[in-house]
Structure 1
Amino acid sequence: MLARVLGPDWGARAARGLAFLRRRITGEYEVDDFGYDQELTDQVLMSLLRPVYEKYFRVEVRGIENIPADGAALVVANHSGTLPLDGLMLQVAVHDHHPADRHLRLLGADLVFLLPVVNELARKAGHTLACAEDAQTLLERGEVVGVMPEGFKGLGKPFADRYKLQRFGRGGFVSTALRAGAPIVPCSIVGAEEIYPMLGNSRTLARLFGFPYFPITPTFPWLGPLGALPLPTKWTIQFGEPLPTDGYPPEAAEDPMLMFNLTDQVRETIQHALYKLLVRRRSVFF
C-alpha cells in the first residue's frame, strides 16, 4: 500500500535523500573556489525553483541548442521584473533543457552579495560578482556564463518602458568574451516585465533601505506581504544564434569602437527578438 501511494521508486528516492543528508552532515561534498555547490544546486535549489518555472510561469524555451554543447559561452539577456526572478528562471531553463546538461553561472550585482542569506544562496547556486575578472576566469574554465548588462536600469524601469532595452553599459561583457574567445549568445525573455508592474518609485524609502529603487505596484505595498506575490504571467525564453568572437585578434578586446559596435549588435538582436516574440504572444497570462 505504501509503495502504491509513494510510487514504485520511492525506496531509491529515499536512499538518495539519505545519502545526500549524510554527505551534508559529514562535509563530503565539493564546493569550488567561487562557492558553487553543484550537488546542492541540482538536488535542492533547482527542485525548489522548478515548480515556479513549470507551473507558475509556465516557461517556454526556444533555441536552447544555440548554447554550445561544450566549451565557454556568454549568454547575454535582457533584465526586468523589479525582482531578479528572470535570472533564476534563465538558470533553470539551461539546467533542465540543454541536451548536454550545461549549467549557467550567473553574474550578479554587488547588492546580491551584500544581503545576508541571499549572498550565501547565490554563491551556492553558482552566481558570482559581475566583474571582468570573475567572468573571464569562468569562461577560461569552459563555463556557460550569464550576464544581464542592463542591471538595475532594466530591473527597476517603469512599467511604461516595458520591453524597451536600457543601455548596455560600456561593453565590458564583449571585451571579456573576446579575451576568452567565447561566443556571445543573445537571449530574449518575455513575461518578466509584467510580474510586478512598477507604477512608481519611492526614492525616500529606497535611500532609507539602501536599495537602488523601491517599487510601487498595483499590489505592493498596499496588500502587505501578499502584494509581493508576482503575477502568474506566461514566459518565453529564447536563445538566439551565437555571435563568434574567436576570429578577432588579441588586441581587439582593447578597441573601444569594436566594443561599441558589438555591444550595439547584441543589444539590437535582443531587442528585435523581443518585438517578434511580443507580436506572436496571444496574452500576458496564456
Structure 2
Amino acid sequence: MADAKVIPFDDDRSRGAAQRSPRRRSSPRRKGDAAAVSEVKTLPGRQREDARGAEPAAGPPEPARRPQEEPRGGGLDRRVAGGLAFLRRRLTGEYEVDDFGYDEELTDQVLMSLLRPFYEKYFRVEVKGVENIPAEGGALIVANHSGTLPLDGLMMQVAVHDNHPQGRHLRLLAADLVFMLPVVNELARKAGHTLACAEDAERLLERGELVGVMPEGFKGIGKPFSERYKLQRFGRGGFVSTALRAGAPIVPCSIVGAEEIYPMIGNAKTLARVLGIPYFPLTPTFPWLGPLGALPLPTKWTIQFGEPIPTDGYPLEAADDPMLMFNLTDQVREQIQHSLYKLLVQRRSVFF
C-alpha cells in the first residue's frame, strides 16, 4: 500500500469532493430556547392601606432561583427530558451542520462528554493562560504535537471549550489520513475538524472561528521518545501566511505530558509501509501486551496558551513575503519551545 499522503498546510489546493462530507440539509435548531431566563425585578417594600389602617409590607421577597439550581428531585427529570428531546431532533433532522460538517449540538452534548473523563480524571489537565485566547473573532492557535496518537489535539479542544469564559469551540486542522479512516472521518467532521489546507483555514478564520494547527505534523507525533519535547521543523510557514491574510492573531500553545503517554522506542517501518501509515510505533507495552498495550499511560498534563502575536498591523502583501513568514514562524516556534522548557523545569513528576 502506498504511504499516507500528507497535504502540507501551506498548500492552497482545494479539497477534493470525495474528501468533503456532504452538507446535511436540515432545519436550523433554535439555540436560545433553553437558555432564555426572564428577569425578575422586585419593587421596594411599600405600605398598603386597608380598612384597619396602614400596615408595613411583608419582609423582602425570596430571591429568584438561579437557572442552574434545579429543584430537588427535578434534575433527573430534566436530564431525561433533554435527552429525549436530543434524540427526537436526531431522528427528525431538526438540527444543523455547517458546510464543513460541524455539528455543534452533537459535539457539546455527546463528543465532549466522552472526552471529558479522560481530560479531567485520566490526564488531569491543568490549563494556563486561557485569557490569552480572544473572546471573539478569529484566532489561530499553534501548538506542539506529540504522543504517537493525536490525543493532544482532542485535549486541547476540551481545554478551550471548558475553560474559556465564552465557551469557544476550537476547529482543528488535521492531515488527510484522518479523513481516510472509516468512522474517524465522520466523527472528525462532526467535531468541527477539517483538512489542513490554507483554503479551509482562511475561511474559518474569516468567519471568526478559533482554528488550531500543529505544524510539526507526523514529524512531531511520530518522533522517538529520545527526542521528546524537541520541536521539529514547522514546515514552510503556511499557517503564518493564512493568519496574515485573515488578520488573525497567532496564539502559541505548549502541551506537556503528551510525550509520555506512548513512549515510542522503535518504528517498524516495513510494516508501516505495508499498512500505508506514516509509522508503526513500538512502545514498552505495544504490541507486546496486545490490546492492553494500546492503553495510554496516565500522565499529568499541562496546557499553556501564550501571549498572542498580532498580525493585523501588516499590509495585505505581507502574506507573500517569505522573509516575514520565516521570521514569524521562527518567533512562534521559539516561544513554544521556551514555554515547554519552562514547564518541564516546574514539573515535579510525570504522573503526579
Shorter-chain TM-score bucket reads over 0.9
Quick check: which one's helix share is greater?
Answer: 1
* Deviation beyond 3 Å, 4+ runs, structure 1: none
Query: For 2:231, what is the secondary structure of its paired residue?
Result: coil
How far off its partner does 1:259 sit? 0.5
1:61-210 map, 5 Å: 61-210=127-276
Structure-1 separation of matches of 2:73 and 2:194: 38
Matched, 1:231 2:302: no
Letter in 2 for 1:34: F
User: CA RMSD for the aligned pairs?
Assistant: 0.8
Letter in 1 for 2:201: A
Q: Which residue of 2 aligns with 1:3?
A: none
Structure-1 separation of matches of 2:341 and 2:119: 23
Q: Which residue of 1 aligns with 2:312?
A: 246
Structure-1 separation of matches of 2:90 and 2:248: 35
What TM-score, normalized to structure 2?
0.79
Query: For 1:110, what is the secondary structure of its paired residue?
Result: coil
Note the residue ranges of structure 1 that are not aligned, 5 or more in a row.
1-5
How far off its partner does 1:198 sit? 0.1
How far off its partner does 1:147 sit? 0.1
How far off its partner does 1:7 sit? 6.2
Structure-1 separation of matches of 2:88 and 2:98: 20
Structure-1 separation of matches of 2:289 and 2:274: 21
Q: Which residue of 1 aligns with 2:54?
A: none
Query: For 1:237, what is the secondary structure of its paired residue?
Result: strand
Letter in 2 for 1:144: L
Q: Which residue of 1 aligns with 2:333?
A: 267
Matched, 1:48 2:114: yes
Structure-2 separation of matches of 1:188 and 1:8: 42
How far off its partner does 1:208 sit? 1.0
Deviation sequence 1:179-223 (CA, Å, 0-9, x none): 000000000000000000000000011011111000000000000
What TM-score, normalized to structure 1?
0.97
Structure-1 separation of matches of 2:342 and 2:176: 33
How far off its partner does 1:100 sit? 1.1
Letter in 1 for 2:95: Y
Structure-2 separation of matches of 1:158 and 1:101: 35
Note the residue ranges of structure 2 that are not aligned, 5 or more in a row.
1-71
